[in-house]
Copies of this chain bind each other. A is one copy, B any other.
Amino acid sequence: MRGVVMHGPGDVRVEDRQVPSIVDPGDAILKVEAACICGSDLWPYRGIDADFPEGGRPMGHEYVGTVVEVGRDVTNVRPGDFVVGSFCLSDNTCEICVDGFQSRCANGGFMGDTQAQYTRVPQADGTLVVVPGGKPEDEDVIASLLAASDVLGTGWFGAVAAQAGPGKTIAVVGDGAVGLSAVLAAKALGAEQVIAFSRHEDRAALAREFGADVVIAERGEEGAATVRELTGGYGAHGVVEAVGNQVSMEQAIASCRPGGHVGYVGVSHGVSLDGQSLFFAEVSLLGGPAPVRRFLPDLIERILAGEINPGKVFTSRLPLEEAGAGYRAMDERKDIKVFLRP
């Protein structure tokens, strides 16, 4: 089969690789029907947090696919099922999973190797969710289901952590695919006013299409001050942080009113929070890898019903063979997110 391997910063190749097979009795093998490039794939691409083993680093953790084989312990999915899975593996039965934090499953781990024609999913029973009705004919629907695998699920978690709901003003820091998905999530969860931060017209346009009522170009303390102006001086009830750096984290906290909620889902890089500032900000903070599995059944239902169209974050669709061009386009911010056809 063909699969994407990164050999060093900026060095993405599509190579012949071994088709995976069942290793553990809880595994499933999928024919990957759609994969994509994640913003977090750009960290090693840019040489940050980069660790390249001998033979390179197989890429990808987002996927929808058709089950082709299952281990003997697997009972929730079977060959032929069209499934969506989280980028985090989970047994979905431990106390942490039952509490809805499948991304920190006591027996979990992270998914990998999905930018390929086939992939192996450990903990298949607790990780995969069957899409009712099988593989959709419309590639737009497939794109939306693929988004649910990570970027939508992550934005959704951010909005839930920010306690988006009726009567609330929710601000979103970050106009990448996760931030835009958080805008969509906040609105879908009933937020009264959604404020997006963006200074790129294409991204601001998609934010508006996803439900943003206001788009602010200012950043940092200036951006936070604008949020306060829009909220009677108080700050937003909830803020989603979808970047992961010091400036964005401080902007998120400063934009939130005391007693409000900051959901931070941008993978944290070089962030340090001063305890005393946080103490006196008096906001709730919750973040981390999103427990996408918690939200998947609901997200699949909303997508199939046509209520939400998160697949619009994919601004281009390429054959797997052109993955390198996809990485370049995302690195240069020409594309928000790139869909790959294996």
Interface residues of A (CB under 8 A from B): 94-96, 99-101, 103-104, 106, 232-234, 244, 246, 249, 257-259, 264, 267-276, 278-289, 291
Q: A282 and B103 in contact (CB under 8 A), knowing A259-B96, A274-B272, A275-B268?
A: yes
Q: Are B288 and A282 in contact (CB under 8 A)?
A: yes
A320 CA / B285 CA spacing, docked (Å): 41
Contact of A259 with B106 at beta-carbon distance under 8 Å, contacts A275-B249, A289-B280 already known: no
The 17 listed contacts between A and B (C-beta, < 8 Å) are: A95-B257, A99-B259, A101-B282, A104-B282, A106-B233, A244-B275, A259-B291, A267-B276, A271-B275, A271-B276, A272-B272, A273-B273, A273-B278, A278-B287, A279-B289, A280-B289, A282-B286
Copies of chain A in the complex: 2
A282: which B residues are within 8 A, CB to CB?
Answer: 101, 103-104, 286-289
- B267 x A104 contact (CB < 8 A): no
Majority-rule SS of A interface residues: mixed
Q: How far is the CA of A267 from the CA of B246 in the complex (A)?
A: 23
Asked whether A286 lies within 8 Å of B289 as measured between CB atoms, the reply is no
Which of A259, A284, A286, A289 gathers the greatest number of chain B CB atoms within 10 Å? A259
**Measured between alpha carbons, how far is A288 from B281 in the docked complex, in Å?**
7
Name the one of B100, B246, B258 contacting A96, with C-beta atoms under 8 angstroms.
B258
Max chain B Cβ within 10 angstroms of own Cβ: one of A99, A103, A279, A284: A279
* Cα–Cα distance between A271 and B106 once the two chains are bound (Å): 29
- Distance in angstroms between the alpha carbons of A270 and B276 in the assembled complex: 7
CB distance from A124 to the nearest CB of B (A): 22
Nearest B residue (CB) for A279: B268
